[in-house]
Amino acid sequence: MNGLANASSLFFLSAGLSLIFGVTRIVNMAHGSLYMLGAYIAYTCATSLGGVLGFWGGVLATAAALALLGALIEIALLRRIYHAAELFQLLATFALVLLLSDVVAALWGVEDLLGPRAPGLRGSVEILGRQFPEYDLFLLVVGPVVLVGLHLLLTRTRWGTLVRAATQDRDMVAALGVDQAKLFTAVFALGAALAGLGGALETPRQPANLGMDLSALGDAFVVVVVGGMGSIPGAYVAALLIAEIKAICIGLGTQTIAGIPFNFSKLTLVAEFIVMAVVLIARPYGLLGRAQGMPRHAAAIQDPIEPAGRRARLLALAVLAALLCVPLLAKASPYTLVLGIDVLIAVLFAASLHFIAGPGGMHSFGHAAYFGLGCYGAGLLLKLAGFPMAGAIAAAPLVAALGAAIFGWFAVRLSGVYLAMLTLAFAQIVWAIVFQWEALTGGSNGVLGIWPTAPFNSAWVYYLLVLALTLAGVLAMRRILFSPFGYAMRAGRDSPLRAEATGIAVLKVHWIAFIIAGTVCGLAGALFAFAKGGISPETIHVSRSIDGLVMVLLGGMHELAGPLVGAPVFTLLQDSVMRQTPYWRGVLGVVILALVLVFPMGIAGTIAGWAKRVAR
């Protein structure tokens, strides 16, 4: 029963996401943020006005406000990026996540805010011998009501017919005289209103907080992947399924199976993952979804990669020599070494992401998962399994590789936005497991006291170790790209059809590439654990995945040197500019928007472009 009530909010959220995607083909990463904003606005209405008007009026006012905001976002931002590459669309809407997060923090503060209970529905009723809150009953009813309402809107009105037609063929609709721009704005507004409604209705049940945006986004992704992108009934069925499974896990509590106590309530996220996995194996486009006829990869074809010329080699050697000299500064400015280690780890992290995102064409939005697995793998092997430092650093990438093997098996079967959503959802699951499994991972506190042992306990020696391993990792991936396997990776990205018709098992190639990237990323995570002296859930946070993508884009997705340029620039920028302001997220959001709208080639890409023009 509780699950049914939870399903309603989840459904509103996911239905909006699904609807927007169906028509605009954009996955709105900021959908969770609209949900969060809905919760905060409704809270303010309910507490400041109070009473029936404050609460119920507030819920409606919230939906209206979000519709307006949605329309504004569509007109100001989305219209500029309908024709951009998918990755840019995802990043641009993610920039909104960052901006809105800081807006909420600035307006409402960082405290959790629990709204008042709903006027008129404060009591509870007894059903089958159990007390059941009236408000939950109300939610239980309102979900199907909205489902039916949406269904009627889409099937019984001309507007709905136009939306469904536009979902299928936008150009044809325009050629019949329909103003798509208005239609898109309206759809986005409706989707945003639904998200806001979902958030507003949750305020009496759980406090509005700053983490809602991403947790809601992760949930919504799981729901639309399970239900089928673009299917409203699918979203409802999936929301019901997911919410029920969570409720059952929590309801079971601790049970003893075969003599071993087993805490099911901690298993909710794993259960969610298993449901998603089963659905994706059986029906790759979700329970009620249909194949969207999307190319597996639609990005612009890039230039062939070439072995470094003499000049590039000399430049690389010079940079290496400079990096080797950094320890000489250790005495004068110890912070330089710390920053140097950060930069090197960022380079390794970004390079591993670039490996699959660039030549592999798989834009992972959850690369932090493998970083986190490496980080926690190293920390926990050291602390709990008594591994020596070298053993922990050697074994941690294998932990990440195992995670990448499991998640990658699913991910390579999908493409484009589906792949992005799935990888992000996987990363959220890893994050939640780490966060919830306190006994093992230390929960939100993490585990401290993970320091390098001699001789690496002095910063400059550890710096050299990181430098050596980063260099080894980057060069190894580079070498793989020039091997037969590297050709096959790029071929699988350029034209999977041709590759399959030439005897190349594209899924297997991309799966192995995914595992290689996960392994290297795990190494970066392990090095990070020892550099910071501890591990915490922050290492797996979505923002790290996004940072990685920004580094890669900043450097240039289509350049082998992209991550090597982007990661240091980003890390130094973060260190200098973003430390100055409490609103660094907002600043990062603006940086991302600038990248997407003005500077899509990245630094290395732009320089390479100049070099080519000069050469001609």
Partner 1 sequence: MMLEADKLCAWYGAAQILFDVSFDVGRSEVVALMGRNGAGKSTTLKAIMGLVGRRAGGVRFDGTELLRLETFQIARLGLGWVPEDRRIFTDLSVRENLDVGRRPANGGPAWSEERVFELFPNLAEMRERPGGRMSGGEQQMLTVARTLMGNPRMVLFDEPSEGVAPLVVERMAEAIVEMKQLGLSVLLSEQNLHFAALVSDRVYILEKGHISWSGAMRELEASAQVQRQFLGV
Partner 2 sequence: MKPLLEVRGLQKSFGGVRAVDRVSFALGEGEFLALIGPNGAGKSTCFNMVNGQLGADAGEVLLGGEAILGLAPRQIWRKGVGRTFQVAAIWGSLTVRENVQLALLSHAGEVFRFWRPAAERHRERALELLADVGMQAQAARPARELAYGDVKRVELAVALANEPRLLLMDEPTAGMAPRERNEIISLTKRLVRERGISVLFTEHSMDVVFAHADRIIVLARGQLIAEGDARAIQDDARVQEVYFGTGRSFRRPSA
**Minimum CB distance to partner 2, residue 486 (Å):** 7
Q: Residue 470 in contact with residue 347, Cβ under 8 Å?
A: yes
Q: How far apart are CA 431 and CA 409, in angstroms?
A: 19
The radius of gyration of the chain's CA atoms, rounded to the nearest angstrom, is 25
- Out of partner 1, partner 2, none, which partner does residue 112 contact, by CB within 5 to 8 A per kind? none
490 is an interface residue for partner 2 by CB under 8 A: yes
Segment contacting partner 2 (CB under 8 A): 71-79, 172-180, 408-416, 477-485?
A: 477-485
Of residues 176 and 594, the one with the C-beta less far from partner 1: 176
Task: Give the 3-state secondary structure of residue 195.
Answer: helix
Residue 152 is a binding residue for partner 2 (CB under 8 A): no
Cβ pair 276, 425 in contact under 8 A: yes
Nearest approach, Cβ of 354 to partner 1 (angstroms)? Answer: 27
Cβ atoms of 538 and 368 within 8 Å: the answer is no
Residues 414-473 that bind partner 2 (CB under 8 A): none
Integer angstrom CA distances of residue 307 from 32, 205, 319, 352, 484: 43, 59, 18, 19, 14
Residues 509-528 that bind partner 2 (CB under 8 A): 509, 512
Residue 168 interacting entry, from partner 1, partner 2, none, C-beta within 5 to 8 Å by type: partner 1
Q: Is 84 in the site for partner 1 (CB under 8 A)?
A: no
- Beta strands of 458-563 (E only): which ranges? 534-535
Q: Is 85 in the site for partner 1 (CB under 8 A)?
A: no
Binding-site partner at residue 556 among partner 1, partner 2, none, CB < 5 to 8 Å by type: none
Which one of partner 2, partner 1, none is in contact with 303 (Cβ closer than 5 to 8 A by kind)? partner 2
Identify which of 40, 417, 432, 70 has the alpha carbon closest to the alpha carbon of residue 218.
Answer: 432
537-561 burial, b at 16+ Cβ within 10 Å, e below that, comes to bebbbbbbbbbbbbbbbbbbbbbbb
- Should residue 491 be labelled a site residue for partner 2 when binding is judged by CB under 8 A? yes
Of 151-190, binders to partner 1 (CB under 8 A) are 158, 161-162, 164-165, 167-169, 171-180
User: Residue 176 touches which of partner 1, partner 2, none (CB < 5 to 8 A by kind)?
Assistant: partner 1
Q: Looking at 482, 582, 594, 611, which residue binds partner 2 (CB under 8 A)?
A: 482
- Residue 303 touching partner 2 (CB under 8 A): yes
288 binds partner 1 (CB under 8 A): no
**Cβ distance 361 to 493 under 8 Å?**
yes
Q: Residue 127 or residue 505: which is nearer to partner 2 going by CB?
A: 505
Residue 519, Cβ density class (10 Å: 0-12 exposed, 13-18 middle, ≥19 buried): buried
In the beta sheet, which residues pair with residue 261? 256
- Decide if residue 229 touches partner 1 (CB under 8 A): no
Q: Which residue, 39 or 154, is less far from partner 1 as judged by CB? A: 154
Select 328 or 611, whichever has its Cβ closest to partner 2: 611
Q: Give the one entry of partner 1, partner 2, none that residue 126 binds, where binding means its C-beta sits below a cut-off of 5 to 8 angstroms depending on kind.
A: none
Among partner 1, partner 2, none, residue 484 binds (CB under 5-8 Å by kind): partner 2
- Assess contact for 192 and 34: CB atoms under 8 A: yes
**Among 112, 179, 438, 500, contact with partner 2 (rule: CB under 8 A):** 500
Q: Show the 3-state SS of 390-444.
A: HHHHHHHHHHHHHHHHHHHHHHCCCCHHHHHHHHHHHHHHHHHHHHHCHHHHCHH
Instruction: Among 304, 309, 386, 449, indicate the residue that binds partner 2 (CB under 8 A).
Output: 304
Question: Which residue matches tokens 């080797």?
Answer: 324
Which residue reads 């039916």 in tokens? 148
Cβ closest to partner 1, residue 157 vs residue 265: 157
Q: Does 480 bind partner 2 (CB under 8 A)?
A: yes
Amino acid identity of 11? F
Residue 23 vs 299, nearer CB to partner 2: 299
Do 250 and 41 touch, CB atoms closer than 8 A?
no
DSSP assignment of 127-157 equals: ETTEEEEHHHHHHHHHHHHHHHHHHHHHHHS
Instruction: Please state the closest distance from residue 515 (CB atom) to partner 2, in A.
Output: 12
Residues interacting with partner 1, by CB under 8 A? 158, 161-162, 164-165, 167-169, 171-180
